[in-house]
Amino acid sequence: EAGVAQSPRYKIIEKRQSVAFWCNPISGHATLYWYQQILGQGPKLLIQFQNNGVVDDSQLPKDRFSAERLKGVDSTLKIQPAKLEDSAVYLCASSLGLAKNIQYFGAGTRLSVL
């Protein structure tokens, strides 16, 4: 069974530029998550989708971050414009359902903002 796919693996941009990350969850997984992991910290949830609807985006900095999952499968996370403090690993995860479900993570995209 294929795991969660993310691209790109690495991205280096200058501050105030835009960047987008892509995620393809495990087939059949209805719930998709985007996490931000800053160096030395645990992953922090940014946004959670159930199919193509947003369940929780309370920790998403909406002035610069946006995410969509238009067809309920793939998802993109965008940062516009990027700040230095956005340097982190962005992890995508998916699970079968909303509660008491194991989340399966992709390898992540490491973003460096210079």
> Can you give the binding site for another protein, defined by CB under 8 A?
4, 40-45, 48, 50, 55-56, 91, 93, 98-100, 102-108
User: Which strand (E) or helix (H) includes residue 84?
Assistant: none
* Closest by CA position to 98, among listed 10, 51, 31, 11: 31
Closest distance of CB 51 from another protein, Å: 13
CB closer to another protein out of 61 and 81: 61
Closest distance of CB 81 from another protein, Å: 27
CB closer to another protein out of 70 and 102: 102
CB closer to another protein out of 28 and 42: 42
Closest distance of CB 39 from another protein, Å: 11
Query: What are the respective helix, strand and coil percentages of the chain, to the nearest 5?
Result: 5, 50, 50
d(C-alpha 48, C-alpha 32), whole Å:
6
Closest distance of CB 64 from another protein, Å: 21
Collapsed DSSP state (helix, strand, coil) of residue 62: coil
Sheet holding 5-7, edge to edge: 5-7, 19-24, 75-79, 65-68
CB closer to another protein out of 4 and 82: 4
